[in-house]
Amino acid sequence: MVLWGLVPGTLLVAMVGCLWLLGLFRQRRPQEPPLDKGFIPWLGHAMAFRKNMFEFLKYMRAKHGDVFTVQLGGQYFTFVMDPLSFGSILKDAQRKLDFVKYAEKLVLKVFGYRSMQGDHRMIHSASTKYLMGDGLEDLNKTMLDSLSLVILGPTGQSLDAGCWREDGLFHFCYNVLFKAGYLSLFGCTKNQEQDLLQAEELFVQFRKFDFLFPRFVYSLLGPWEWLEVARLQRLFHRMLSVNHNLEKNGISNWISYMLQCLREQGTAPAMQDKFNFMMLWASQGNTGPNSFWALLFLLKHPEAMRAVRKEAAQVLGEAKLKARQSFGIEISALHHTPVLDSVMEETLRLGTAPTLLRVVHGDHILKMASGQEYLLRSGDIVALFPYLSVHMDPDIHPEPTAFKYDRFLNPNGSRKVDFYKSGKKIHHYTMPWGSGVSICPGRFLALSEMKLFVLLMVTYFDLELVDPDTPVPPVDPRRWGFGTTQPSREVRFRYRLRPAK
């Protein structure tokens, strides 16, 4: 009897527990930001968010203002939309906002990689050594050779001068940047033909994974797609296995150093393969799509193309344009291209839309630039989406949706770094690389490889859109928040090697 009496009590406790888990009891506490749980228990606004994050956040900002908390799949996210208040979140002097814990969960799910303590610091220190300064100069030379190999083929000039070729611009840029980047960082063998074939195969599989990636992260895949993702993960672990390293030469110092650190920590070879997969993703998922946007904007804006070509001719010199065996660009030229720099900065502003996430450890007061204070609840996530709150802010960037190639140039031709919001100088006037502890450690390499590619394309090739009137395609809305955006459709273009002068 006594036992039977326990059943309703237990059921009640279980029900209350479920309702609590579904978030039904959560109420906004004094000083907390506006809370919007949505109508569906636990899911909250997840569906609208995943369908089109940009539109969803625009709507929420109009409804609640610059700070609000929304429920997305059982987790509460506080979005901060005022860039003048980003400083305290990104500096996080009290160490209450944690990037690493969230990232560790994500990389385990996506790449199968189980992080070790200190990995984050190790990746950043490897990048400071080998993706910046002198290390970067060496890598840039390798990258130029790889771009020559991929575009011109192993024997130098596999493209007939004067003969037009047609391709999808997105496919072309992604394919070239991916293969050149992969070979430069992960090394090659003595057989260049074979290396190119392997890189092509890797690219084909990478694009399949890339396509499923946003819905994979949001756990929205169908059963067959789950199987496909698992197959692709295994394939990448195999193709990037450290067991192949002995056959390779020219593995970049960046990768070698990080693998060495993992070995010293006793990381198993199978886990090192997964680390390689993670690094392939981080290093190759953005540069191709960004280069696509850059070339497309140049093709759609002839005055910008003329300015970039003029600058290229000035810094590279006419003599260099004649030598076509491989691309003979002086790497130091990359330091003297303010116009191209502005084009790239503008492209990154328009084309890159990452989300920055930090887990709140212990209740925490967020001080806004206006002086207002908000209480952030322990366990919630603070989120920034600079594409909407910074890149598209008409106060900071007038006519924010327009491509203006000289937006980041001063009238005297130097780099423009002074931007204002509400009359105040703003530090974070674009944030394509993230910021603070999680800032992209590969940003200098990324910029120089994209610049090299664009320089080669505008210098050595004639380029034209198959349909010059084709509009710039809209962004695929499922990719908001995942770094560089991708177009919702392909754009056809033609290219041909310019005949020698």
Can you list the alpha helix ranges (DSSP code H) found in 92-222?
A: 100-111, 119-130, 133-152, 169-186, 192-217
Do residues 82 and 369 make contact, with C-beta atoms less than 8 angstroms apart?
yes
For residues 188 and 290, what is the distance between their CA atoms, to the nearest angstrom?
25
Instruction: Identify the three-state secondary structure at position 369.
Output: coil
List binders of ligand HEM among 100-119 (CB under 6 A): 103
Q: Which is nearer to ligand HEM, 33 or 436 (CB)?
A: 436
Nearer to ligand HEM, 42 or 203 (CB): 203
Which residue minimizes CB distance to ligand HEM? 442
Please identify which residue in 71, 438, 459, 486 interacts with ligand HEM, judged by CB under 6 A: 438
Alpha helices, DSSP H only, in 240-337?
253-264, 269-284, 287-300, 302-316, 318-322
Which two tokens mark 445? Answer: 């390499």
Provide the mask over 126-165, with x wherever binding to ligand HEM is found by CB under 6 A and - wherever it is not. -----x----------------------------------
Of 23-31, 63-71, 285-293, 451-459, which part binds ligand HEM (CB under 6 A)?
Answer: 285-293
Q: What angle do CA 309, 310, 313 make, to 5 degrees?
A: 85
- Shortest approach of ligand HEM to residue 103 CB, angstroms? 6
Q: Binding marks (x or -) toward ligand HEM, 338..367, rule CB under 6 A?
A: --------------x-x-x-----------
Judged by CB, which is closer to ligand HEM: 68, or 292? 292
Tell me the C-alpha distance between 218 and 216, whole Å.
5
Single out the segment in contact with ligand HEM by CB under 6 A; choices: 4-12, 70-78, 214-222, 441-449. 441-449
Backbone phi, psi, residue 66, to 5°: -80, -15
Q: Which of 49, 76, 113, 433 binds ligand HEM (CB under 6 A)?
A: 433
- How many residues lie near ligand HEM (CB under 6 A)? 23
Closer residue to ligand HEM in complex, CB, 140/459: 140
Reported as half-sphere exposure (CB side, CA atoms, 13 A), residue 275 has a value of 24
Question: Does residue 33 touch ligand HEM according to CB under 6 A?
Answer: no
Closest CA to 333 of 486, 163, 499, 459: 459
| Residue 352 host element (H or E) | strand 352-354
Q: Does 258 bind ligand HEM (CB under 6 A)?
A: no
Gap between the Cα atoms of 304 and 29, Å rounded: 52
Residue 80 as a binder of ligand HEM (CB under 6 A): the answer is no
Where in 263-282 is the site for ligand HEM (CB under 6 A)? 282
Contact set for ligand HEM, span 481-500 (CB under 6 A): 483-484
Do 187 and 245 contact (CB within 8 A), yes or no? yes
* 72: contact with ligand HEM by CB under 6 A: no
CB of 483 to ligand HEM, least distance (A): 5
Q: Which stretch binds ligand HEM (CB under 6 A): 62-70, 283-291, 319-327, 381-389?
A: 283-291
Nearest to 346, CA basis, from 415, 408, 434, 418: 408
| Residue closest to 172 by CA, chosen among 12, 42, 289 | 289
Among 173, 280, 353, 446, contact with ligand HEM (rule: CB under 6 A): 446
383 alpha-carbon distance from chain centroid? 16
434 scored as a contact of ligand HEM (CB under 6 A)? yes
Site residues (vs ligand HEM, CB under 6 A): 103, 120, 123, 131, 282-283, 286-287, 290, 352, 354, 356, 432-434, 438, 440-442, 445-446, 483-484
